[in-house]
């Protein structure tokens, strides 16, 4: 085991949804620790690629949609074709909830959330694990939410999807533990990202959501990235099927 336990030199990491926010911060963090990074998503990741280059790292971008099986297969295949293996996957792609009472949620709202937040995760796990089985192991980290553990009104499909992330994480973690594949998840509290900027730009809303956690503040993407790197590292070698709240005590209330 390396003496530097967060050294990912020689490792290859696939990250979905790495254009901004938590995905971007995690991609840059892995690259700074020596990993080759593949960023997959629907829109370009030019800013992330530039930050990685500025940090002296190496990364490529693959365009596609996590809800389409052929695209997810291409993410994995391109990773292996370019770098020869897949050591770590961070399944980060997701959509924000539609906020409405359950009776006012539409079938379209439901399908949109489920296709990305749950079906997309299923497809990523399916093809990532298949590749890791060939090479004898790997580490997968899924991005859930505090909504993987608790519920809030006005976002029932989102809560259901994020509870599903927890379920997939536990089931896959147990199923593949003896194959040297670890599967865990983070459950972030509200984090300051491009996706959440619409909520946080409203001063009253921002002050309200701060009260949800004990630290009374919004998390930074980098605070999520640190936990992802930990779970991907040898430090977490006996951890699988776990959901890690990164929420300043929100779910501990």
Sheet holding 138-143, edge to edge: 58-63, 36-41, 12-16, 88-91, 138-143, 181-188, 243-246
61: which strand partners?
39
Task: Find tokens 């946080």 and name the residue.
Answer: 200
Contact between residue 48 and residue 20 where contact means Cβ atoms under 8 Å apart: yes
| SS3 at position 15 | strand
Q: How many residues does the chain have?
A: 253
Question: Exactly one of 83, 127, 158, 244 is catalytic; which is it?
Answer: 158
Task: Find tokens 């990074």 and name the residue.
Answer: 37
Contact between residue 19 and residue 28 where contact means Cβ atoms under 8 Å apart: no
Contact between residue 193 and residue 221 where contact means Cβ atoms under 8 Å apart: yes
**Alpha carbon distance 104, 67 (integer Å):** 24
DSSP secondary structure code for residue 219 in this structure = B
| 176 counts as catalytic | no
What are the start-end ranges of the H helices in the chain?
21-32, 46-54, 69-83, 107-113, 120-135, 156-176, 197-200, 203-210, 221-232
DSSP secondary structure code for residue 8 in this structure = -
Catalytic residues: 158
């Amino acid at each position: 085991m390396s003496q530097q336990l967060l050294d990912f030199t020689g490792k290859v990491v696939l990250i979905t949804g790495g254009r901004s926010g938590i995905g971007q911060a995690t991609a840059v963090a892995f690259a700074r620790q020596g990993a080759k990074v593949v960023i997959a998503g629907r829109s370009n990741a030019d800013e992330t690629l530039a930050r990685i280059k500025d940090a002296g790292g190496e990364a490529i971008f693959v365009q596609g949609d996590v809800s389409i099986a052929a695209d997810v297969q291409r993410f994995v295949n391109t990773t292996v074709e370019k770098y020869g293996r897949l050591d770590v996957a961070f399944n980060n792609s997701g959509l924000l909830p539609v906020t409405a009472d359950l009776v006012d949620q539409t079938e379209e709202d439901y399908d949109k959330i489920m296709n990305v937040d749950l079906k997309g995760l299923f497809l990523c796990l399916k093809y990532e694990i298949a590749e890791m089985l060939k090479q004898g192991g790997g580490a997968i980290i899924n991005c859930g939410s505090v909504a993987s553990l608790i519920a809030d009104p006005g976002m029932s499909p989102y809560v259901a999807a994020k509870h599903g992330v927890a379920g997939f994480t536990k089931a896959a973690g147990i199923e593949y533990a003896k194959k040297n594949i670890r599967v865990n998840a983070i459950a972030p509290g509200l984090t300051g990202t491009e996706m959440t900027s619409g909520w946080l730009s409203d001063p009253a809303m921002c002050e309200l959501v701060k009260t949800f956690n004990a630290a009374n503040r919004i998390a930074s993407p980098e605070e999520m990235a640190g936990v992802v790197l930990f779970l991907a590292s040898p430090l977490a070698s006996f951890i699988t099927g776990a959901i890690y709240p990164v929420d300043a005590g929100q779910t501990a209330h």
